[in-house]
Structure 1
Amino acid sequence: VRYQDRDMLLSASEASGTTAPNKAKVKQVRYQLLSSRGNGRAASAVLADSEHASLDQATFSTCALDAPSWEFRAADIDLDQANGIGRAHDVTFRIGDVPVFWLPYASFPLDDRRKSGFLYPELGYSNQRGFDLAAPYYLNLAPNYDATLTPRLMTQRGLMLGGQFRYLTDSSRGTIEAEWLPNDRDTDRRRSLLHWDDATRFNAYWGATVDFNHVSDDRYFEDFGRSLSIAATTLLPSSAYFRGQGSWWKASVGGDEYQITDPTLSVAAEPYRRLPRATFDADHSLFGNLDAGIRSEYVSFSKDNAVDAHRLDLHPYLAMPIERAAWFVRPELGFRYTSYQIDRDADKSPHRGTPVASVDAGLRFERALDLGGSGYTQTLEPRAYYLRVPYRDQDNLPLFDTQEVPFSFGQLFRSNRFVGADRQMDANNLTLALTSRLIEDSSGSERVSASIGQIRYFDDQRVQLPGRAGTDFNGSTYVGELDLRINERWRATFSNQWNPNSDRTELSAVGIQNRFGNDGVFNVSYRFRRNLLEQADASVLIPLNPSWRLVGRWNYSMFDRKTLEAFAGIEHDSCCIAWRLLARRYVHNIERDMSNALYFELEFKGVGSLGQKTGDFLRRAILGYQ
């Protein structure tokens, strides 16, 4: 006998039933779920209707029916397709024919509808935390909010309690996360984390955002973070803003503050709180191509054991961009005014005002090329940017939130090399740059992109951060970038900054990627920034066959003569089961101490995974990992 409806396909040795009511009983059943993944056998089954069935002496798996790598066996199973829930008694989970665990009762989802219950545990080991076991419990509280409670046992640290609450309404969405370790055995103190992010829309124009973060101490991420990037977190930001936006304006009011999470930084290094902080930007067409706009900001700065201050920054401007297919000219004239009210005995109200004028212009040429029998379009794009900002003495202005932007190709076309309003660079500069691209006609893919540029200085650069002398260079560092996409399998990127004033390279980066086979990928890169870092990085994903893959990475600092991170692992993937084993050694704190970790993840497809989640980690570590 064969039977099929929208949710199930089954075969049986015999069947009997009635049409009123519509009910059937079958024996020696083989079944396949159609609306979700899964199949199995049963000694007998009762089909109450198209959405309800009861099975005796039943099995369930997502593997091949005749040779399952794993399966559930139960004395009886009730399948409720209407509510998407299965219920079973006397349940045994087996890998091969070996029983792994037993439960007197279990319920499980049959489709993607959410259901309260234990999620699969996460397992791991590191010499910082010891054996690491987390057992999350999911709570389906309502259609628009849920929660997950996660007790986490670390044999070297103790029992940590964690939780996540998510909510979604017509106007808001957000997440609240918390972790709490009452007593860390290593440090003999309480450790905790709190995070809240929220985005709310009040109407088409106004909304609010919140991003609140707090940890109990400056070594929290070092001890409990699972990646080098998290462990290297120096400042933990928090912010809350009320925001508005229209067709020609946008505004915000709120505040920011930071928590130091680097134990090598003193309290004095903590950035100023910006509370309140308000911004208003506008850009509106007057007539023809003439636009008028303003960029403005008001901030109140405060910090323990430091002077408080208020700062107003106004930058009104006129612009007349003219854009055509083969050329563009973008002249802009503005005036930047910045004033302070500082809580100090002398010079309480310093200020600065200076005009800012610029002209950005470029040409776009193109021609057809035939290379190896394929058609290409080559572009040639010269660009010139002139900037004029008269010098204003700013030594009496304080520094609250201003830093110098690292030099890059994009910096060639900025009106200020500082971010923040405490400094406005002086300029009588002309930037000259050239870009060329090679575009494949058949696919539209950009196979080659090359750029080079430099700023020519006609006056000395007198405005500097405190402690730095002015310069009299005739030209800036040369910046060059090259991106080669030779074909779908090979890509190479190069960037270099050469300083003619010191006759040496300031920055250099090289990256090469090769994709091979169906999923294989190999990356190698080199990064250098003078007096800061010099690193080599290699990563690989090697498919041995459709089921087995090797992964690995090595990140080495020549500057420190030390490995920053290295891992190697193996993956196995079949139709219904996948597992991954990784061994990792990495820098885990600011003092560059090393840590060892072992990750194991086992996934039963269609059901869940057991162990440490490593997929996201590998996607960040290996460019091109699938």
Structure 2
Amino acid sequence: MPHTTRIFLSALSLVMLQSQAFAASDASTVDVSLLTSDEKCQMQSYPCVPSSSQSADDVNQLPITINANSTTGNNEKVTYQGDVIVKQGHRTLQSDSMILTTPGDRQVTAEGNVIFNDGEMVIESDRIQSNLTNQDTYVENAKYKMLCQSGRGEAKKVFKNGTTFYQLDDGTFTTCPEENKSWRFGAERIEKKDSDIFADLYGTSFQVLNTPIFYLPYLRVPVEEGRLTGFLFPTIGFLDEKDGVSVQTPFYWNIHPQADMVLTPKYMSNRGTQLTTEFSYLVSPGQGAIIAEYMPDDRLYPTIENSWGVNWTHGGVQNHWAYNLDYSRVSDIDYFDRHTDSEVGKREDSSLLQTADISYRENLWDVSMRVRDFQPLTTLSTVYRLMPQVGFNYYGPNLIGNTRFTLPLSVSRFETDTVNKPDATRFHIEPTLTVPYNKPWLRASAEAKLMYTYYDQDFADGFNENSEHTLASHAERTIPSLKLNTTVILENNLNLLGYDYLQTLEPQVQYLYIKDVDQSNIYNPFDYNGGGYDTVRLQTDYYGLFRPNQYSSVDYINPANQFTLGASMRFYDDSFKERFNVAVGQIFYVDRPFGSEDAGINYSAWALESEINIADHWFFKGAMEYDNNVSDIQFGNALVEYRTEAFFAQSSYRFVSKDYISSTLPSGSTYIDQITDDGISQVGLVTGFPITDNVSLRGQYFYDLTQDIRLENQVGLVYTDACWQLGLTYSQYLLSRDNIKDNPEYDSGVSVSFKLIGLGANAGFGYSDNSKSALGYYNPYGLKN
């Protein structure tokens, strides 16, 4: 909820002197007692007492105590003089004098240095008067300060008409501290009905150093929990090479308590106007959003007309049903090159995802149906549509000795528009029997499964004539597998460099057998260049060494007769925080039925992973695969970071050899040179630190050593005051990798951002913590503490 007016409206309505509390009071309920000096000092400290900690109804039931230097009166009028303190629960009212009249008009008047504190706000005024009969209340020269969040302001006069209406004259609000006049909001008059969550502001202005910057004759805003149709904070961008000067003016439409819409026109001086519409809704089967972007003409791309993009997402659970939808489409394949800040959809492998699934779940079984399509974003895309896939899973109850039986099966239909790739219907069933055996120091399991797959494949005439292998119109395979896995957990207490640690050593051994079955008559990623309906080769790491299948799905199931040996070691400090771990492993092949080129290789590459946390300031995370068959590193990555509250610096390096990339491509692939010249070798640096108490710098730089080219660089300066923030950012990042050695294409720009601190995430003009970042910072430390 915007704080720009709520502060001196809703809080003052609580203040309006607790008319109900006094109205409920009489001579029998008012307990006149003396307060100690400690209690008076506690009042002056004004601690935050959030409304969530004690309801208003509970406070209203508490007794009222009144302390004053002198008290005079009768049945018609009571006068309190000198250091008057009224207390009810955590609410207090202080004044020089207070008069309470009970018959007739039933008035209570507090005058002279009036201070009211309800735990969430402190209000000072010259005079407060309230009628206990009709609850009309007047407050003069009010100053308020919020206790549980930033905010303070003034109002010359406040009038509350019973329980139906109140009005404030010359009200202001700012989150700046006392004597700081950087900015504030002001209104000549504010009116609100108690039954309404909105307030009407007349003569509203935004002021800097008490000087009005912009003025609105009328504004209607929410002052309680609720939503209001109207304009949101604008966003302004400067000096962008592509867009030029840009202005966004979002408009919020509160359609229904369960539906709303944000319409955002964006004017770009170099290009024209784009409209973005975001519709959100909440229904019984879940919630969703529809984002649509439209630009009729683009001066920067004059040949493009009616450029648009749309994305619909939905997710929800209702009883035993679960629903998920993510559908995206754009007007053309170059849409995201022109609109780099687009929020439309998810992109996978140069394609735009279009998927939906529905599932029904019981304790022992579930059934699901999924459809998946893509919109290609390149002319070379050959992805498959899943039209549809029906899946069933049965989870049998534990048998003797906690033995578990599961039965997953699926029927999938794959279709493509590429003439040199087949369509197919696939049936797969995988009954699995698992026998676990667990002790505090031991984890062991035996798993046996039988994988049966049947294919009905449709391919164009002449497909087999141009292929090294021969596909079958009807193909089936049955592959049994056995996996035995054992992990031993050893613990040791030790003292290292004067610190006590708990050390664990977890050696792990696994035997895996998967029968070697001829699968060449199935379109798969091992035998066919680009083959596989929904199956690709997975990257190997330490945990991947223990993965039964090295492929993502079942179009190719790699045969295996092998042992995997690995071990991990961990160090925990005296508070059981994990400070260090390292894991290393390797596969030893009993035989290699993968092909003649692997016949003489008896073991895989070594896989190594490690993480380090030193004193919660230094962090390291790295992984590497070293193949001693060729005495070369296949891939590696490392992140080193130093972090304190005000400073962080993270350096990273990523390497993938050309041989490793080639090994992940289908057999017979010849386009490795089109992918890379000499593998991948990239470095990066991300840092942020204060220059002065108010000025901080943040920057990042990423460079491709193999291609000898910048990937992205960004530097920004931010000035932060007590209640506002100003940033200046220069960013540049690579747009296209086509002919990058000769003519790389970049997008660059300078952005200016401004933010009012204390008014929420969107209270600013073009504010961004990480403008146009394609890579950026992420926490490298993955230990689960």
What amino acid is aligned across from residue 278 of structure 1 in structure 2? V
Does 2:604 correspond to 1:476? Answer: yes
What amino acid is aligned across from residue 598 of structure 1 in structure 2? V
Does 2:503 correspond to 1:378? Answer: yes
CA contact (8 A) 2:502 2:571 kept: yes
The match for 1:444 is: 576
- Aligned-partner SS, 2:205: strand
The match for 2:257 is: 143
Moved more, 609-618 or 497-506: 609-618
The separation in 1 between residues aligned to 2:270 and 2:436, in whole angstroms, is 63
- Aligned-partner SS, 1:623: coil
The separation in 2 between residues aligned to 1:84 and 1:489, in whole angstroms, is 47
Q: 2:170 aligns with which of 51, 57, 82?
A: 57
Structure 1 residue 87: Cα displacement: 2.3
> Aligned runs of 1:382-401 on 2, under 5 Å?
382-398=507-523, 399-401=532-534
The separation in 1 between residues aligned to 2:502 and 2:427, in whole angstroms, is 49
The separation in 2 between residues aligned to 1:551 and 1:514, in whole angstroms, is 14
Q: 1:127 aligns with which of 220, 223, 241?
A: 241
Q: Judging changes above 3 Å, is the alpha-carbon distance between structure 1 residues 501 and 287 closer, same or farther for their aligned structure 2 residues?
A: same
Q: 2:763 aligns with which of 609, 616, 619?
A: 609
What amino acid is aligned across from residue 154 of structure 2 in structure 1? R
Does 2:509 correspond to 1:402? Answer: no
The match for 2:321 is: 206
The separation in 2 between residues aligned to 1:370 and 1:100, in whole angstroms, is 64
The separation in 1 between residues aligned to 2:349 and 2:229, in whole angstroms, is 34
Q: 1:521 aligns with which of 620, 641, 648?
A: 648
CA contact (8 A) 1:557 1:563 kept: yes
The separation in 1 between residues aligned to 2:266 and 2:779, in whole angstroms, is 32
Structure with the higher fraction of residues in strand conformation = 1
The match for 1:458 is: 590
The match for 2:39 is: none
The match for 1:328 is: 443
Moved more, 498-507 or 139-148: 139-148
Structure 1 residue 227: Cα displacement: 9.2
Structure 1 residue 505: Cα displacement: 0.5
Does 2:305 correspond to 1:172? Answer: no
Structure 1 residue 564: Cα displacement: 0.8
What amino acid is aligned across from residue 179 of structure 1 in structure 2? E
Instruction: Map Cα deviations across residues 293-338 of structure 1 (whole Å, 9 max, x no partner).
Output: 2232211111124332201111112111111111122111111111
The separation in 1 between residues aligned to 2:213 and 2:348, in whole angstroms, is 40
Does 2:128 correspond to 1:31? Answer: no
Q: Judging changes above 3 Å, is the alpha-carbon distance between structure 1 residues 230 and 356 closer, same or farther for their aligned structure 2 residues?
A: closer
Does 2:222 correspond to 1:222? Answer: no
Q: Judging changes above 3 Å, is the alpha-carbon distance between structure 1 residues 19 and 236 closer, same or farther for their aligned structure 2 residues?
A: same
- Aligned-partner SS, 1:288: helix
The match for 2:528 is: none
Aligned CA-pair RMSD = 2.7
The separation in 1 between residues aligned to 2:179 and 2:722, in whole angstroms, is 13
CA contact (8 A) 2:753 2:766 kept: yes
The match for 1:289 is: 402
Q: Judging changes above 3 Å, is the alpha-carbon distance between structure 1 residues 362 and 57 closer, same or farther for their aligned structure 2 residues?
A: closer
Does 2:381 correspond to 1:253? Answer: no
The separation in 1 between residues aligned to 2:162 and 2:778, in whole angstroms, is 50
Does 2:125 correspond to 1:12? Answer: yes
The separation in 2 between residues aligned to 1:619 and 1:422, in whole angstroms, is 34
CA contact (8 A) 1:538 1:554 kept: yes
Q: Judging changes above 3 Å, is the alpha-carbon distance between structure 1 residues 275 and 230 closer, same or farther for their aligned structure 2 residues?
A: closer
- Aligned-partner SS, 2:431: strand
CA contact (8 A) 2:727 2:767 kept: no
Moved more, 602-611 or 149-158: 602-611
Higher RCO by CA contacts (8 Å cutoff, separation 6 or greater): 1
Q: 5+ unaligned residues in a row in structure 1: which ranges?
A: none
The separation in 2 between residues aligned to 1:80 and 1:454, in whole angstroms, is 73
Moved more, 14-23 or 495-504: 14-23
Count the aligned residue pairs.
614
Q: 1:558 aligns with which of 683, 702, 705?
A: 705
Structure 1 residue 484: Cα displacement: 0.9
Q: 1:537 aligns with which of 654, 668, 684?
A: 684
The separation in 2 between residues aligned to 1:81 and 1:39, in whole angstroms, is 22
Structure 1 residue 536: Cα displacement: 0.7
Structure 1 residue 251: Cα displacement: 2.5
The match for 1:277 is: 389
What amino acid is aligned across from residue 733 of structure 2 in structure 1? Y
TM-score normalised by length of structure 2: 0.74
> Aligned runs of 1:402-421 on 2, under 5 Å?
402-421=535-554
Q: 1:572 aligns with which of 716, 719, 728?
A: 719
What amino acid is aligned across from residue 605 of structure 2 in structure 1? T
What amino acid is aligned across from residue 614 of structure 1 in structure 2? S
Instruction: Map Cα deviations across residues 567-619 of structure 1 (whole Å, 9 max, x no partner).
Output: 11122333322232211011123435111022332222344423335236679
CA contact (8 A) 2:696 2:719 kept: yes
Identity percentage over the alignment?
A: 25
Instruction: Map Cα deviations across residues 25-74 of structure 1 (whole Å, 9 max, x no partner).
Output: 34333234568753322333323358854222332222235432111233
CA contact (8 A) 1:601 1:609 kept: no
Moved more, 615-624 or 388-397: 615-624
Does 2:622 correspond to 1:494? Answer: yes
Q: 2:747 aligns with which of 581, 591, 595?
A: 595
CA contact (8 A) 1:525 1:538 kept: yes
Does 2:420 correspond to 1:318? Answer: no
The separation in 2 between residues aligned to 1:384 and 1:293, in whole angstroms, is 24
Instruction: Map Cα deviations across residues 488-544 of structure 1 (whole Å, 9 max, x no partner).
Output: 11111221111112211111112111113x332111111111134211111111023
- Aligned-partner SS, 1:367: strand
- Aligned-partner SS, 2:399: strand
Q: Judging changes above 3 Å, is the alpha-carbon distance between structure 1 residues 602 and 402 closer, same or farther for their aligned structure 2 residues?
A: same
Q: Judging changes above 3 Å, is the alpha-carbon distance between structure 1 residues 549 and 233 closer, same or farther for their aligned structure 2 residues?
A: farther
What amino acid is aligned across from residue 615 of structure 1 in structure 2? D
What amino acid is aligned across from residue 370 of structure 2 in structure 1? G
CA contact (8 A) 1:36 1:111 kept: no
Instruction: Map Cα deviations across residues 207-254 of structure 1 (whole Å, 9 max, x no partner).
Output: 221111111122222221239998997221111111122333332112
Q: Judging changes above 3 Å, is the alpha-carbon distance between structure 1 residues 326 and 34 closer, same or farther for their aligned structure 2 residues?
A: closer
The separation in 1 between residues aligned to 2:731 and 2:346, in whole angstroms, is 16
Does 2:202 correspond to 1:92? Answer: no
The match for 2:479 is: 354
The match for 1:583 is: 730
Q: Judging changes above 3 Å, is the alpha-carbon distance between structure 1 residues 104 and 444 closer, same or farther for their aligned structure 2 residues?
A: same
- Aligned-partner SS, 1:12: strand
Does 2:246 correspond to 1:118? Answer: no
The separation in 1 between residues aligned to 2:553 and 2:394, in whole angstroms, is 19
Structure 1 residue 92: Cα displacement: 2.0
CA contact (8 A) 2:754 2:767 kept: no
The separation in 2 between residues aligned to 1:21 and 1:185, in whole angstroms, is 64
Structure 1 residue 460: Cα displacement: 1.8
The separation in 1 between residues aligned to 2:230 and 2:371, in whole angstroms, is 39
CA contact (8 A) 1:258 1:270 kept: no
